[in-house]
Amino acid sequence: MENMIFDTHAHYDDEAFDEDRDELLSSFPDNNIGWVIDAASTVKSHEDILKLTEQYSFIYGTVGVHPDDVGELDEEAFAGLEKLCQLPKIAAVGEVGLDYHWNVEEKSKQIYWFERFIDLAKSKELPLIIHSRDASADTVDVLKRNNAGKTGAVMHCYSYSKETAKILLDEGFHFGIGGVATFKNARKLIETIEYIPMSSILLETDCPYLAPVPYRGKRNCSLYIPYVVEKISQLKNISEEEVIRITTENALRLFNKVR
């Protein structure tokens, strides 16, 4: 089991998989994909994700709302999500965070709900899956102020500098590495991967987005993770088997409801 791949961030509830979802997911055990965390994004996504976790033993879900969608939230919706945390297959709170790239929602509103979800993760003793884009200063500030490292956390699709990575490493954070690592223009991320220890690296797809080379621009899925593994093995000068073994151990340690 330990040498199966753990995809720590996917969106198989996305309509991009409507045509062949069951066929694709059923093929995972025979293709060395051992576990998948399907990350919630909208309030409605939870319903679809729960169905997937019931249908497939290797799929786990999360509770959370993406910063672009926090406009959907109110106290009643949040209370509903809070109840889901106790389900055996809800393994994390996420994806939650800050996105100042599109600024779909006001910054103050994003920060408010980010802090509410951090509190929720801490009170339920669940790890956090964090989305942060063009918001490094505020993200680090919120995470430190709320002592978020205490409950365990991963920076999904990490895109900031090595210097920011150092601060987050000191707080005990993990880093989700996916298809972007194989892109030609990924110099900053490559530097970060070389810098952070293997014990803080997790594998992820963020599918249907961010497919690795040679599938860049196409629909992504967990079956393409070996291209990311190959890249990390070159950068860290260890075998691909070692990359899989260590990242899976890291994921099973962080997401401790996953069996």
> Site residues (CB under 5 A) for Ni ion?
206
Q: Count of CB atoms within 10 A of residue 22's CB?
A: 10
Q: Judged by CB, which is closer to Ni ion: 89, or 156?
A: 156
Nearest distance, CB of residue 80 and Ni ion, angstroms = 21
Dihedral sign, Cα of residue 12, residue 17, residue 18, residue 19: negative
Q: Judged by CB, which is closer to Ni ion: 10, or 196?
A: 10
Q: Judged by CB, which is closer to Ni ion: 14, or 242?
A: 14
Closest residue to Ni ion, based on beta-carbon distance = 206
**How many residues are recorded in the chain?**
259
Nearest distance, CB of residue 131 and Ni ion, angstroms = 6
Nearest distance, CB of residue 1 and Ni ion, angstroms = 25
Q: Give me the torsion for CA of 66, 137, 186, 33, rounded to 10°.
A: -40
Picking from 177, 165, 176, the residue whose alpha carbon sits closest to that of residue 139 is 165
Contact 69, 97 (CB under 8 A): no
Half-sphere exposure of 162 (CA within 13 A, CB side): 11
Nearest distance, CB of residue 2 and Ni ion, angstroms = 26
Nearest distance, CB of residue 149 and Ni ion, angstroms = 21
Q: Judged by CB, which is closer to Ni ion: 30, or 101?
A: 101
Q: Judged by CB, which is closer to Ni ion: 99, or 206?
A: 206
Residue 159 burial by CB count (10 A; 0-12/13-18/19+): exposed, middle or buried?
middle
